[in-house]
Amino acid sequence: MHARFLTKLAGASIGFLLSAAAASAADPAPARDFATYQPAATATRIQPSEAPKIDGNLSDAAWANARVISDFYQLEPNEKQPASERMEVRVLYDENNIYFAIHAFDREPDKISASVKTRDGNLSSDDLVRIYLDPYKTRRDGYIFEINPLGAKLDGILQNNSDVLVQWDTIWHAHGRVVADGWVAEVAIPFRSISYDVANGDWGFDIFRLIRRKSERIRWSQIDNQRSSRDISRSGTLTGIKDTAQGLGLDIQPFLALRYKHEWEMPREDDVTLEPSGNIYYKITPSLTGTLTFNTDFSDAPLDQRQINTGRFGLFFPETRDFFLQDAAVFEFGGNNLNNDVNGIPFFSRNIGLVNGIPVDIVAGGKLSGQLGNLGIGALIVDTAGTPTTDNQILSAARFTMPVLDESKLGIVFTNGDPTGATENTVGGADFQFRNATWIEGKQLQADFFYERSFSSAFGDDDAFGTQLSFPNEPFGARFQYKEVGANFSPALGFVNRPGIRSYDGNFYWLQRPKDSWIRTWNLGTFYNFVTDLNDHLETRENGVFFEIQTQETDNFEVVVFNDFEDVPFGFFLPKGVLIPAGEYEWTGVVLNVNTSIGRPVNGGFSIRCCDWFDGRRFGTFAYVNWRLDSTWEIGAEHQFIGIQLPTGDVEIQIYGMNVNLNFTPDMQLRTQVQYDNISQAFGLSARYRWEYDPGAELFVSLGESGELIDGEHYRSSTTQVSVRLGQLMRF
């Protein structure tokens, strides 16, 4: 049956491809050859005494001497056409900083979207401009700096044309404002804030603009909407940067925190502590940074996303602590093999600082990240505190990568240690991530291969490996993936929730961009997932088809129809003790997803899933809404419902969440989270106030409350915590 289906799909795909090719041939050729277009611009040198004041006023005399960048083209909705609104960008530099002046013209300035003030917030709900800097001209790694009309900022590290690490923060200055003919912004980035080769005066460079009300995406170079916004493989060049200063490359960041904790359970206890902590950063070379951390403070971490398990395998809770998130992409391994399915990843930083779910302190640690020549380096070693039943543990991980070919890389990874101290554990692995955007003009080919082996004193030695091949193109695309995880593969610093399996999954799709329509794209496709044991006995199967529409306003509508099969070797329990007995099960279901554009002041979405499930019924909904009242207030709420009816019993799951954010200025925010679910009846509240009163200097105050809301009516407190922290960054 599957062979006949694939034969029909292949025949239909060939017909669609021939039709698309004929339609494409009828279109007029663009004026530029965007397949090879890589513009260049020159930064103008000034003296420090001539530096512009970063206040959003472009009248400084220095800007008159800068060359103007004004050739911008659309990615969407009208690819390769000139931008519908004009923009001018100027670039200056002195020995200490690089400066950007942005004038984003708009014939309807009253319709400019400007509502977000949050540092590292979702600026794409507003008009924005993004600056890409690739100081080593790698065409794969660099930095992004975003600003919106209110002067809100976002910065991040771009790695391997695939990952953007927005948790990375550095010191830079920006100011934006709406003016009579659009909006303007000024940006100053200290050379001390980024890594670069002082001997190389040519940088990879690009500028991106989003006009939110039109959902229009504009770029200076790499005019190809099939490429991700994270891709800089064909970016332009910024020339003329020389004779700059990085100082000693030493940053010292001390913190002092006053903490209060009250336990409401008997015997009630109060605890007040004054705790110093700190980080020291040193640029060993302009591109390689060493970090030392002492008594690392995680009080600024948000609450975990509340989840309730209704399956046989453990849940994955993403990392939320900035100290680890800042270098997370450095330790990325396996490419899309392990990005799409985390079962088998060798290193998962959430294992550090947690022992069997109990938080433990990080006494001290060291990190090394960056590049040494062409070698990418990520290394981490930490000393974690013990618990009443465990001793201190030394845990370490290392990742090394080397670029090969034009866009690809080879890498190795090592980890050592067990957070529980119960075993001796080491993991080693290697991967190859292949990227090629020139094998067929305008088409991309991606392939990933990985192998890893664990050595455990408790489980012995075993391995995991896999390969992935994808064609992320238009109008046709596909992905194929195979992965095997050994029965005794046990990475103590990694994540495995389903050992002893072979998995096969993939998808095929056909995507179209209608002209002169309210539809921006529609996408029709099919997907499959098969999981067997190591003897090739089928355990899990999922087949389905999907149809998705995105409007010109970037609202999304999707329908999915799927058929599932599960062979359950041993019965397992759902919440409330409802049993799913051992046996074979097959069912069919439908999913409907609707999401409105984040550009709307009030936006949201919902998902509905029904109806059969194992030998009973399941109906699930998830709904959320976000409301930006103005540039100060943001309110979000979400609710998930799962109703399960089985011959062995019924269970209802309800999860509630709410966020209230006050953005007083781009440098001062108060963020509040509230969570509750009816299974654990656990209530959680987190309020975090942050004021960066000077670049690199902050006041942070947090309030945490946990307890139980019995039957949704009677509240019983468990723990209340308050923390006040001062921090200062000193640069030398």
Sorted by sequence, the CB contacts under 8 Å of residue 705 that are 6+ apart come out as 683, 684, 685, 717, 719, 720, 721
Compare 265 and 613 and report the one with higher pLDDT: 613
Q: Are residues 57 and 157 in the same domain?
A: yes
635 beta partners: 627, 660
Count of domains in the chain?
2
Residue 20: both structure tokens together: 């698309």
- Cα–Cα distance, 385 to 324 (Å, whole number): 17
User: Given pLDDT bands bounded at 50, 70 and 90, which one contains residue 296?
Assistant: confident
Where does a domain end: 195, 218, 239? Answer: 239
User: Given pLDDT bands bounded at 50, 70 and 90, which one contains residue 11?
Assistant: very low
Assess if residue 546 is contained within a domain.
no
Residue whose C-alpha is closest to residue 296's, from 361, 378, 367, 391: 361
Assess if residue 48 is contained within a domain.
yes
Residue 372: both structure tokens together: 């040494």
- Cα–Cα distance, 318 to 305 (Å, whole number): 9
Q: Are residues 201 and 344 in the same domain?
A: no
Assess if residue 463 is contained within a domain.
yes
Q: What is the average pLDDT across 275-285?
A: 90
- Cα–Cα distance, 257 to 253 (Å, whole number): 13
User: Given pLDDT bands bounded at 50, 70 and 90, which one contains residue 540?
Assistant: very high
- Of the listed ranges 145-149, 262-266, 326-330, the one predicted with least confidence: 326-330
- Cα–Cα distance, 527 to 533 (Å, whole number): 21
Assess if residue 418 is contained within a domain.
yes
Q: Are residues 232 and 323 in the same domain?
A: no
Residue 447 near residue 467 (C-beta atoms within 8 A)? yes
Q: 350 by DSSP, 3-state: which?
A: helix
Q: Are residues 83 and 204 in the same domain?
A: yes
- pLDDT over 80 at 325, yes or no: no
Residue 151 near residue 666 (C-beta atoms within 8 A)? yes
- Cα–Cα distance, 525 to 496 (Å, whole number): 30
Residue 683: both structure tokens together: 């209530």
Residue 99, pLDDT score:
98
Q: Are residues 235 and 98 in the same domain?
A: yes
174 beta partners: 187
Where does a domain end: 174, 209, 239? Answer: 239
Q: Are residues 85 and 216 in the same domain?
A: yes
Assess if residue 411 is contained within a domain.
yes
Assess if residue 55 is contained within a domain.
yes
Please tell me whether the overall predicted TM-score, pTM, comes out greater than 0.85 for this model.
no
Q: Are residues 233 and 350 in the same domain?
A: no
Residue 3, pLDDT score:
40
- pLDDT over 80 at 266, yes or no: no
Q: Are residues 217 and 84 in the same domain?
A: yes
**What's the chain's average pLDDT?**
89
650 beta partners: 645
Assess if residue 218 is contained within a domain.
yes
Where does a domain end: 219, 239, 259? Answer: 239
Domain that holds residue 390: 316-471
Place of tokens 């990325």: 332
Q: Are residues 43 and 143 in the same domain?
A: yes
Q: What is the average pLDDT across 212-223?
A: 93
- pLDDT over 80 at 395, yes or no: yes
Sorted by sequence, the CB contacts under 8 Å of residue 13 that are 6+ apart come out as 476, 508, 510
Q: What is the average pLDDT across 310-333?
A: 83
HSE at residue 351, side-chain half, CA atoms within 13 A, is 22
The pLDDT tens digits of the residues spanning 95-122 come to 999 999 999 999 999 999 998 888 888 8
- Cα–Cα distance, 57 to 54 (Å, whole number): 8
The pLDDT tens digits of the residues spanning 672-700 come to 999 999 999 999 999 999 999 888 899 99
Strands (E), 668-696: 668-677, 682-694
Percent of the chain residues past pLDDT 90, beyond the cut? 66
Residue 146: both structure tokens together: 């975003």
The pLDDT tens digits of the residues spanning 702-725 come to 999 999 988 777 899 999 999 999
DSSP state of 227: S
Q: Are residues 84 and 213 in the same domain?
A: yes
- Cα–Cα distance, 119 to 387 (Å, whole number): 36
Assess if residue 488 is contained within a domain.
no
Sorted by sequence, the CB contacts under 8 Å of residue 5 that are 6+ apart come out as none
Q: What is the average pLDDT across 225-239?
A: 87
CATH of the domain at 68: 2.60.40.1190
